[in-house]
Structure 1
């Protein structure tokens, strides 16, 4: 299985010039690596970045024809196309920029915008209708982790996939190519706290088994880990076969650290 390393830029960078600088750094490093025949020259790792909506069109245009894909950080739950929804960007509008994926269900969206499973079901439906792939983020809080509720919480969050399949059973055959799950313990995002590889591996195994139970076609689900992933710990996560890549936050804002993580997963996938 080919690994994925996805950079979630969140509300960064502020200026278009800084976005351009980051993109050029990434593309130059990849080009230099190809010339030097390093890991990313024959990559076993898909690369993707998710800029904020204001920069989405420019980033998508710049990355066209390069090894890096582009994703939105969110889409509207209200409409797949257009409507009187001030401040929202629809799946159709995102697809029109050239982006091919969208993140959904990130813990910051769940926390700050109270996104429910019902909301996420609408967003997934709209995304898939516009041929956008979905990176579905799931994970437990510190309180839930301390109470040994991790798997219970995850099962509740994964149920949105089951609900989608109930509504659209015909989508099952293609969903494994259009859906990625990112397990991000909320308590590990940006905190420097990191669960052990063994903990993450067991949780990923549970996720894969649970999703496979929804449909036979989902028995090889790609599951990424996110939460304080950096260049120093990437090799240990990449070495575990249950961990198919990483959703990277702060470390994705510097080309060197982002590509170091990608190189770790590329080496492990060879």
Structure 2
């Protein structure tokens, strides 16, 4: 199974010049890796999600490479256009050069109070415009401490179940158009990391839950995110339940980001 390593740049870098430096470093690192005997790039798909203001420039720069480009969100109000100041539609994200988008990230859930109904609208709009969706789920520290992880995940995965109920004709296409990213909120950017055993068990639950929605979803890709770095990537990549990583801070340094991708390239053999 092909691994995925996705860099979520969030509200970074600050300037276009900084973006150019990061892209230069990333392209140079990829080129160097391909010249080396351990190149396993075909076994790991790399993708980056820049901020909206930089999306078109980044996607244009990466067009000649194997690296994909994603948006960080889409509007819930309309898939195309409308009187929604400050919003950006799925159609506009596609026009800017993205082929995927991240939805449901914990920071969006926290700062924008995104509900399941809102996320269902966003997922519907994104998929209707041909965007793949990286759908983020995960529990807070309080929920983790209260042994509520699986209950929270089941509630968040209800968005996928609702989408299937509304558009059953798309079920068979979802394994190639929808990726689940398990990101425990308490591990994002904190340096706190769950054990590989914990992550593996949670991923197994996610995959079994999705397979319960429809047989064709038994092959869904499930990524881990939450303080993944070059030092711990090998241990996560070695577990067959973990299909890749959604990377935050470590994706802003080309060397560490590519080291994570290399770990999952080897782990997918």
Normalising by the smaller structure, the TM-score range is over 0.9
Structure 2: gaps (5+ residues): none
Aligned partner of 2:37 in structure 1 is 37
Aligned partner of 1:127 in structure 2 is 126
- Equivalent pairs counted in the alignment come to 269
CA distance in structure 2 between the aligned counterparts of 1:144 and 1:47, rounded to whole angstroms? 31
CA distance in structure 1 between the aligned counterparts of 2:173 and 2:61, rounded to whole angstroms? 28
Q: 1:186-245: CA deviations, max 9, x gaps? A: 000000000000000000000000011111110111000000000000000000000000
Structure 1: gaps (5+ residues): none
Aligned partner of 1:222 in structure 2 is 221
CA distance in structure 1 between the aligned counterparts of 2:55 and 2:31, rounded to whole angstroms? 23
Aligned partner of 2:260 in structure 1 is 261
TM-score (norm 1): 0.99
Q: Give yes or no for the alignment of 1:18 onto 2:18.
A: yes
Backbone CA RMSD of aligned residues: 0.7
The offset of 1:43, in angstroms, is 2.9
SS in 2 for 1:247: strand
The offset of 1:32, in angstroms, is 1.4
Within a 5 Å distance, the mapping from 1:139-218 to structure 2 comes to 139-218=138-217
CA distance in structure 1 between the aligned counterparts of 2:187 and 2:94, rounded to whole angstroms? 31
CA distance in structure 2 between the aligned counterparts of 1:197 and 1:33, rounded to whole angstroms? 27
Aligned partner of 1:85 in structure 2 is 84
The offset of 1:67, in angstroms, is 1.3
Aligned partner of 1:28 in structure 2 is 28
